[in-house]
Amino acid sequence: MKSKKILVTGGAGYIGAHTVVELFASGYSPVIIDNFSKSDRTLLDGIEKITGKALTFYEGDCTDRQFLNGVFEKEGKLEGVMHFAAYKSVGESVEFPIMYYQNNINSLLALVEVMKEHQVNNLIFSSSCTVYGEPDSIPVDEYAPFKKAESPYGATKQMCEQILEDAVRADIDLKVISLRYFNPIGAHPSAMLGELPIDKPNNLVPYITQTAASIREKLVIFGGDYDTPDGTCIRDFIHIVDLAQAHVKAIDKLLGEGISDGYQYYNLGTGQGISVLQLVKEFIEVTGVKLNYEIGPRRAGDVVKTYANPTKAKNELNWSAQYTSRDALRDAWAWEKRLRRLNT
C-alpha cells in the first residue's frame, strides 16, 4: 500500500523537522515546505541522517498562493497538512507586531484556501498555550477561556484558531486539530537534529546551550520578582520528540476514527510546572557544565505561570509525554556539542 502523503509546512524548522522524523517512523510520506526565513537547511540533512530517507522538499513561502498551488498540483493526493510555518517568538513579536500578523495570519489563510481548492480537508495546526493569556488557574485545561493575549504572537495564535473554527463551521468536510504547545525543548536523542536559531536565540534553552558553549557571554533570566516561589516564570517544558509524536497521534486520529466535532484542540505539555531558574539549575546538574547567568529585568509579553493539564490529549489521542525536562536538557546539550564540535 502506498504510504499517505502529509504536507508539512515549516518542515525545516525545529518542531516541523522532528515531526517529519516521526511521520516517517510511522509510515507516512512527508512533503516538506520551508522558506528558511527562520530555519537552517542543515536540519534537512539531520532528518535524512536519522531516517535514511530522501526528502521531498519545496522552497517557498506559505503566504504565496501560487507557490502553494504549484506544490499541491505537483504532489497530487495529499491526505493532510501540518502547518508549522509561522513566527514564534514572544519578545520579537512585541517588537515587530505587524510582521507577526502579516506572516502568521496570511500564511494560514492562503493555506486553507489552497487546501480547499485541492479538496485536502485534514489540517493539524500549531497553536500555543499563549492562547490562554495569563490563565486564572493552573494547570490549564482546554476549557480555560482565551484571555487577552500577552503578546502579538499569542494574539496571532488566537486569531488563527478563530479562523479555523469559523472555517470548519462553514465547511462540513474540513477537519482541524489545533495542538496547543507548552514549551518544547530538547533535541533528537541521536543528537543529529535539534534547535538551531538562525541568529541570536529568543527562546530559553538554545540561549542556555549557546551560553554553555561560550557562543553567548551570559544568560539573562528575564525577571526574578514575579509572584512565584523563586520569583522566575513557570513553564511546562516538553521534550521535542514527545511533541512530535503527538502530531502523529493527531493525524492518525484525523485520518482514522476522526474527530467528534470538525474542530478539536489539545494541550500538549507534561503537566509539570518548572521555573526558569529551576530549569537553569537542572541544566547545570545534568550536564556538569558551568553556566554564566544572572537575573535581569522582566521581558515584555511574558505570561507569569502556566503549565498544562494534558488529560484530554491522553484520553482522546492516547498520548502523554514520556521524557522529563532533564532528558530534554541532556539531549539539547548533546546536540549543541555536536553542532559546535565540543568535547566537554
* Coil, helix or strand at residue 126: strand
Q: Which of 14, 28, 132, 153 is catalytic?
A: 153
Choice from 22, 142, 302, 336 touching ligand UDP (CB under 6 A): 302
CB nearer to ligand UDP: give 138 or 220: 220
Instruction: Name the phi and psi angles at 109, rounded to 5.
Output: -60, -45
Binds ligand UDP (CB under 6 A): choice among 90, 115, 243, 317 = 90
Instruction: Note whether 106 binds ligand UDP by CB under 6 A.
Output: no
Residues 130-169 that bind ligand UDP (CB under 6 A): none
Do the strands 234-235 and 29-34 form a parallel or antiparallel pair, or are they unpaired?
unpaired
Contact range with ligand UDP by CB under 6 A, out of 9-17, 69-77, 156-164, 215-223: 215-223
Contact call for residues 197 and 12 (beta carbons, < 8 A): no
Among 276, 286, 317, 334, binds ligand UDP (CB under 6 A): 276
Question: Of the ranges 59-67, 70-78, 100-108, 196-204, which one interacts with ligand UDP (CB under 6 A)?
Answer: 196-204
Is 153 one of the annotated active-site residues of the chain?
A: yes
Binding of ligand UDP at residue 243 (CB under 6 A)? no
Helix (H, G, I), strand (E, B) or coil at 80: strand
**Residue 297: closest CA among 211, 222, 190, 206:** 222
User: Which span sits near ligand UDP by CB under 6 A: 15-23, 108-116, 197-205, 246-254?
Assistant: 197-205
Tell me: does residue 222 bind ligand UDP (CB under 6 A). yes
Give the E-state strand segments of 115-261 in sequence order. Answer: 122-128, 175-181, 183-185, 219-222, 234-235, 237-239
Residue 291 interacts with ligand UDP (CB under 6 A)? no
| 30 burial level (CB within 10 Å; 0-12, 13-18, 19+) | buried
Show Cβ contacts of residue 31 under 8 Å, excluding neighbours closer than 6 positions.
Answer: 5, 6, 7, 8, 56, 57, 58, 71, 75, 78
**Is residue 29 a contact residue for ligand UDP (CB under 6 A)?**
no
264 beta partners? 177
Q: Which residues are catalytic?
A: 153
Judged by the rule CB under 6 A, the positions of this chain that interact with ligand UDP are: 90, 183, 202-204, 207, 219-222, 233, 235, 276, 299, 302
